[in-house]
Structure 1
């Protein structure tokens, strides 16, 4: 401890001390708050917390593995490093105790958005420092969609909430309201829910009740509008910087090969660095395994926002129970009956049992970051 005090003495300039501290792991910084009042003030300062996070972000790309799997059971959050090849070998890095029953909603830059026991409460959780921030929301979880994003220009975490308008009736007025929460201000704000390329935003019929996909500085979700003769499916995007909603059009007739196409299952993912839509055929009932998904198409948007750049890959995937996402190399993370977790390579058709038993939630990330975010919040 005396050596630490010497480090903060006049022997080293203050900016050098700050530079050294920003390079230390979170566990060390939590302990070092006790060194002195000066260090406590420094480590809990929002500017220092942001600098430490940004340094971790820049260094995360130099890890010895290709990516990480995050997954939960009822009691713990697990982190496993994985080599992103067809064998997808896992090495557990750490695990965190979950102190109360939760449903994971989203993950971004080391932060988790979760539901707790009460439907009117959500939490931001930083497992690195085991700190929760409780946020109250007006409606139960069945009435809206949530997304977590990081605003790099302002070094701020944001939550987007789109909720059914309680006063919507007789197709008059907007069907949905939108609010944004900013961690830096600790406030919810109502924002205009309009889409430039759609003349009558009130005609939006439905929004997929799934977590948003954060990609390319925007949150994305599937949405559906009324057309003259039928419904129109599109991707609704929300730019985190200018807070404007936009429409990303889907390829025409992308559901043509599916019978009962209105029952097709849509999942937005990042596939090999591009925005992609994975479409699974309507669920088929099996007497032994219940509902299973068979057909699968992967539509990849080669140039972001350019509808002409959509390309299709048909995948011979059969008998799937659940889908959790993709690895960076494009392997699909799925559950097959009766609860076998596998990675599936759509190119080689290689299927690998990854030895995880029916997780409650799973996500893949290349940016595993520990941070001090929330340390300065009550």
Structure 2
């Protein structure tokens, strides 16, 4: 015969101490934490504190069982593209190993031009601006996992400049920063002007370049094939310039690196490579700065893709032959190369049309996997995070 259950009143001594409860909560996924905010007032307020959000971010990054994701949307290269693609306001989250879709988000704000463009992504916070970057005033920080966004205040610099933006995370101060670099087309070429936005202060400030500028540069432009990579606490821009004049003209490229923590610039060298180069761009490869160079291959319609990775110095990782390449999109977090290729002609409405295909390539095995996307992609890393949960001037939707 079973013993009768003895009931006793729950006492205060049965409760977990608040610090232990919060330590347990910090290890939970974002969706669970949003629900648990409704349990009591103390949890509601504690989960939104900067210290809790920071601890939750650290646990998410250290969890080896978390699958990797990235987010993508159609890349606008021509104003007419958006009219032909009404889904350009949709962002898709996919696995960075298989490209299988896990969820979709509609961008909850709009631009006057209608052309959203990724500035970058840090810890699941997306920075998005207008495609027409030289005239855009609107910059947004967006956290789709908690359905909140924030429009940044306007800057004080004139808008009659060519502008490029970078987005990074200040790990020393647990702050998110946007760097705005602008240049004029005046002659002689003036030094770059720089502003930095801090999420914690919700304001912009001027920052000096702090390094010598090429006084004999007659022309320079940003290489903006991809979003400017944020690697190891630094944002990176590649600037292509012409120095001197007449027959003494010299075509050079430099890499400008900005430490988001110290807010200091430095110049990095490019790798010494004498091979042919049609085009090159900066990106990140497995959390390291990478330079991608494309040169002509032996076979018709083939290119050689050289992957350089920065450690203590530049090292050439490998050279990949790629046929019928039309667009280099980037690397997934897992290290797979994402490109678009020209495929065969197909008949549509009694007309022959050239179709393109997107392909994931494993740089080690050269194995290719075609993915079901027939348009150019704008991509960024993605993870869930609580940042922007209860910040100032943050909009919920």
TM-score by length of 2: 0.75
Residue 206 of structure 1: CA displacement?
2.2
Unmatched segments (≥5 aa) in structure 1: 1-5, 84-88, 259-263, 283-291
Q: Determine if the alignment matches structure 1 residue 325 to structure 2 residue 330.
A: yes
Q: Determine if the alignment matches structure 1 residue 205 to structure 2 residue 220.
A: yes
- 2:150 aligns with 133
Larger Rg: 1 or 2?
A: 2
Alignment CA distance shift 1:345-1:40 (3 Å): closer
| Counterpart Cα distance in 2 of 1:51 and 1:273 | 21
Residue 328 of structure 1: CA displacement?
4.7
Q: Determine if the alignment matches structure 1 residue 248 to structure 2 residue 268.
A: yes
Which of 290, 305, 314 lines up with 1:297 in the alignment? 305
Contact persistence 2:183–2:190 (CA under 8 A): no
| Counterpart Cα distance in 2 of 1:318 and 1:58 | 38
Deviation per residue, 1:110-168 (Å, 9 max, x gap): 11011259931010000111111101445669821111111112111111111124xx7
Contact persistence 1:293–1:321 (CA under 8 A): no
Q: Determine if the alignment matches structure 1 residue 146 to structure 2 residue 173.
A: no
Residue 327 of structure 1: CA displacement?
3.2
Q: 1:1-378 counterparts in 2 under 5 A?
A: 11-59=15-63, 61-63=64-66, 65=67, 67-72=68-73, 73-83=87-97, 89-101=98-110, 102-115=116-129, 119-138=136-155, 143-165=162-184, 169-171=186-188, 173-174=190-191, 176-195=192-211, 200=215, 205-209=220-224, 210-228=226-244, 229=248, 230-254=250-274, 256-258=275-277, 264-272=278-286, 274-281=288-295, 294-304=302-312, 306=313, 309-311=314-316, 313-328=318-333, 330-337=335-342, 338-358=355-375, 360-363=377-380, 365=381, 368-377=382-391, 378=393
| Counterpart Cα distance in 1 of 2:168 and 2:219 | 23
- Aligned to 1:316, the other structure's residue is in SS state strand
| Counterpart Cα distance in 1 of 2:12 and 2:182 | 50
- Aligned to 1:356, the other structure's residue is in SS state coil
Residue 9 of structure 1: CA displacement?
9.2
Alignment CA distance shift 1:252-1:342 (3 Å): same
Residue 177 of structure 1: CA displacement?
0.7
| Counterpart Cα distance in 2 of 1:354 and 1:142 | 38
| Counterpart Cα distance in 1 of 2:60 and 2:207 | 32
Residue 212 of structure 1: CA displacement?
1.3
Contact persistence 1:274–1:300 (CA under 8 A): no
Alignment CA distance shift 1:158-1:204 (3 Å): farther
Residue 186 of structure 1: CA displacement?
1.1
| Counterpart Cα distance in 1 of 2:363 and 2:49 | 47
| Counterpart Cα distance in 2 of 1:7 and 1:76 | 51
CA RMSD, 1 decimal: 3.2
- Aligned to 2:152, the other structure's residue is in SS state strand
Which deviates the most, 348-357 or 41-50? 348-357
Deviation per residue, 1:204-235 (Å, 9 max, x gap): 72222352101121111111344353032121
Contact persistence 1:105–1:114 (CA under 8 A): yes
Contact persistence 1:146–1:159 (CA under 8 A): yes
| Counterpart Cα distance in 2 of 1:348 and 1:187 | 47
